[in-house]
């Protein structure tokens, strides 16, 4: 069984089906994964012309269907990995047992909680500078966050954009010293300390952000900042809760795997894609890990 339907889940399904394992794939709450909310994809090999994330994932799904994989639309809500065969309950009350499981449930970007974030998603709002930064060459963007991820994304975007604002709600950066230094020394990056994002505006996409300086203080000040794009860099939450306490995770909830393989601490249970990847979070990396997970599942079953 494969739980999740992003690049990792779909690739695992293709390889598992071609190995005659008869996989069942559960799509979960977001069929196609996070890539479906990415406007354009230009860095996935084999597609010289840009295509939308939605189209790329639909093509992957069609390939999965072509190989006869049974796809079910439900979300896993409970698991019991104490002993094989492993037991799962889904949101339609279906209970399923499987000898091998590939967990490919991804990681969800953390949002500020503004309604405008969803409104402009794919139209100026992004949670991945590496994915979408290319579309903001010689334009003005803002990055929200003050940790390593935010500083790293600001530095990356500074190599593409005309101007980068780093919106930090605290009066300091939480990032490592070396990243702080690189951000502070980059003349394209301007840090807006003690600043919160309250909303966005624009007709056919993001044209600016509503900001507030020193919110709740006597010198509180509201103003609008013209920008072409807003990048959220306040972290990701791996979708691993349903597999606890059986699966070992790190302090952030990312599933731990062994020695560069997709193998977890439980025999026959494998993890692929962003749910086990706090570092790269790229479609091509996820797809590769899905391939490895399917191959490991096949070897595991052969060994039994």
By annotation, the residues acting in catalysis are 128, 131-132
* 8 Å CB contact between 52 and 32: no
Rounded-to-integer distance, Cα 103 and Cα 272, Å: 6
**What does 6-24 look like in DSSP terms, one character per residue?**
SHHHHHHHHHHHHTT---E
Type and span of the H or E element at 271:
strand 269-271
Answer whether the bond into residue 245 is a cis peptide, omega within 30°.
yes
**Whole-number Cα distances in Å, 168 to 186, 202, 216:** 16, 22, 16
Type and span of the H or E element at 183:
helix 177-185
- DSSP 3-state of 135: helix
Per the document, the length of the chain is 304
* 8 Å CB contact between 61 and 31: yes
């Amino acid at each position: 069984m494969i739980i999740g339907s992003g690049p990792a889940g779909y690739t695992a399904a293709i390889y598992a089906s071609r190995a005659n394992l008869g996989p069942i794939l559960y799509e979960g709450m977001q069929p196609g994964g996070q890539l479906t909310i990415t406007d354009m994809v230009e860095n996935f090999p084999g597609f010289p012309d840009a295509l939308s994330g939605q189209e790329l994932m639909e093509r992957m799904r069609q390939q999965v269907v072509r190989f006869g994989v049974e796809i079910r639309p439900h979300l896993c809500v409970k698991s019991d990995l104490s002993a094989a065969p492993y037991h799962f309950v889904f949101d339609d009350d279906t209970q399923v047992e499987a000898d091998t499981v590939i967990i490919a449930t991804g990681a969800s970007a953390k949002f500020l909680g503004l309604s405008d974030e969803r409104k402009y998603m794919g139209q100026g709002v992004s949670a991945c500078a590496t994915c979408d930064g290319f579309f903001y060459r010689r334009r003005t963007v803002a990055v929200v966050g003050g940790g390593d991820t935010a500083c790293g994304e600001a530095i990356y975007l500074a190599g593409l954009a005309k101007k980068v604002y780093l919106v930090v709600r605290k009066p300091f950066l939480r990032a490592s010293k070396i990243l702080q230094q690189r951000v502070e020394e980059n003349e394209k990056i301007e840090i807006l300390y003690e600043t919160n994002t309250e909303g966005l505006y624009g007709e056919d996409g993001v044209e600016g952000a509503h900001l507030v300086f020193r919110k709740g203080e006597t010198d509180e000040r509201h103003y609008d900042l013209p920008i072409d794009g807003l990048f959220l860099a306040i972290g990701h939450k791996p979708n691993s809760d349903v597999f606890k306490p059986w699966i070992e995770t790190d302090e952030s909830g990312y599933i731990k795997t062994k020695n560069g393989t997709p193998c977890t601490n439980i025999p026959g249970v494998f993890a692929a894609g962003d749910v086990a990847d706090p570092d790269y979070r790229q479609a091509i990396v996820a797809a590769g890990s899905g391939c490895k997970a399917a191959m490991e599942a096949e070897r595991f079953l052969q060994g039994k």
